[in-house]
Amino acid sequence: MRAVVQRVTEASVTVDGRVTGAIGVGLLALVSVEDADSEQDSQYIAEKIAGLRIFNDGDGKFNLSVEDVGGAVLVVSQFTLHGDCRRGRRPSFTAAARPEHAIPLYESVVCMLRARGLEVATGEFAAHMLVRLINDGPVTILLDSKKVF
């Protein structure tokens, strides 16, 4: 499972002209599920998102998590994070999980974040989404449950 996590001052997702999720200060997490992923991968990603110390403390150092600052998380499914561009010019998405496998693991990440007491908003799985954000910093972190990077 992969995630691109961005520290934001605000973020929202719109589908067909309606806002499906919006947050103020917090994290935007773009999440992709791979065929080989399991519940353990969901747990790893959820714990990393909740615990990432990428918010400034009183000294301006990255010592606080989204939980520490009372922020929210906007979780958006994005299978293109598993796009393989090593050959040719068009990405291959064969490593990305099919919806029947991906949806339960994506929803598991959302449930685990909510279980930690975080406010969590979401996009709409497999929909064409417009994602708006104001990246704070900018701060962008890449996560991979297989620890590829």
pLDDT at 148: 84
Active site residue 43: no
Q: What angle do the packed helices 99-115 and 39-51 form, to 10 degrees?
A: 40
Catalytic residue among 79, 94, 125, 149: 79
Active site residue 125: no
Q: Which domains are delineated in the chain?
A: 2-144 (3.50.80.10)
Over residues 13-29, the mean pLDDT reads: 98
Over residues 23-47, the mean pLDDT reads: 98
Catalytic residue among 55, 80, 93, 122: 80
Catalytic residue among 78, 93, 122, 125: 78
Q: Whole-structure pTM over 0.75, yes or no?
A: yes
% pLDDT > 70, the chain: 100
Whether the CB-CB separation of 27 and 21 falls below 8 Å is answered with no
How does the average pLDDT of the chain come out, rounded? Answer: 97
Active site residue 93: no
φ, ψ for residue 60 (rounded to 5)? 80, 15
Identify which of 24, 22, 26 has the alpha carbon closest to the alpha carbon of residue 12: 22
pLDDT at 92: 96
Instruction: Please state, in angstroms and rounded to a whole number, the distance separating the CA atoms of residues 30 and 6.
Output: 9
Enclosing H/E stretch for 141: strand 130-144
pLDDT digits (tens, 9 = 90+) for 46-58: 999 999 999 999 9
Measured CA distances, 95 to 34, 54, 65, 104, 122 (Å): 6, 29, 31, 17, 23
pLDDT at 149: 78
pLDDT digits (tens, 9 = 90+) for 62-118: 999 999 999 999 999 999 999 999 999 999 999 999 999 999 999 999 999 999 999
pLDDT at 142: 98
